[in-house]
Amino acid sequence: MTDLPNVHVRAEVLAQALPHMQRYDQEIVVIKYGGHAMGDRAAAEDFAEDIVLLEQSGLKPIVVHGGGPQIGRMLERLGIQSEFRGGLRVTDEATVEVVEMVLAGSINKQIVGWISAEGGRAIGLCGKDGNMVRAKRALRTVKDPESQEEKALDLGLVGEPEHVERGVLDAVLKAELIPVLAPVAYGADGQTYNVNADTFSGAIAGALRAKRLLLLTDVPGVLDKDKNLIPELTVEDCRRLIADGTITGGMIPKVETCIYAIDQGVEAVVILDGKVNHAVLLELFTDYGAGTLIRRK
């Protein structure tokens, strides 16, 4: 026999989601799916269900994925040494071939397969396809601990987006397909560049004036100095917390990506824990939220 109280609870949950669905109807939402947030198969299937439900509910989801752990494992298997400087993987010719193979190949098609298995219609692309994203060599500096002088970092073939051709994505979305994007791009010189997935997703969201950019990661969101979650921040708050040392390490480039995307016209950005079951649905379709929301003001 059907459990009527349970059915009524489910119906109530759906009814409560209605205003959220109306808010995002026909709006573009970019979701960055991080290498660490990918987790196990069950977590990946939950994520795929979320993406298909978004599309079926009238949203236009775009998935940008990373794959740092998977790249690291493949480099190790092939006996290729890898190092990090300033939080970014130094990328030479041999490494960029592996990066492209893993990101634009195995991971990209795996995510497309997960979405397809849940009834969605996804298409796997990278920044090279249709000249969607043109990159330039990333310029980073680091402060010398002794002299306190800023010194340039040589990251090799690490790039950052210089231009996004949105026509490719507009055509894909018009066809009611779900784009799954790998952060690999060409430079004006024809060179292949490895682009940080956070930066890539920020550029995509900014170029398309997305309603939301969600950065799924392996932490709950932005934490204060007592390691408590900060549920909401303004751009000004973010700059202040970076300056006073509250936001440190790998969270700095994530927050800088948020600021960039908002400056480009994205309404708001959320940094959230991708390991939480159905984190995307919690954030977009409930009053609960699942991370740190960053707005203009």
Binding site, annotated residues for substrate? 67-68, 89, 194
Q: How far apart are CA 248 and CA 84, in angstroms?
A: 17
Residue 48 contacts residue 38 (beta carbons within 8 Å): no
- Mark the binding-site residues, compressed into ranges: 67-68, 89, 194
How buried is 38 (Cβ within 10 angstroms: 0-12 exposed, 13-18 middle, 19+ buried)?
buried
Choose among 64, 30, 39: nearest CA to 277: 39
What does DSSP assign to residue 131? G
Q: How far apart are CA 295 and CA 238, in angstroms?
A: 10
> Between the CA of residue 253 and those of 30, 36, 126, 200, what are the distances in Å?
18, 16, 22, 12
Output the DSSP codes for 84-99: EETTEE-B-HHHHHHH
Output the DSSP codes for 180-203: EEESEEEETTS-EEEE-HHHHHHH
Choose among 156, 236, 157, 166: nearest CA to 203: 166
Which two structure tokens, joined as six digits, stand for 249? 């390490």
Q: How far apart are CA 157 and CA 89, in angstroms?
A: 9
The structure tokens 């690291």 sit at 72
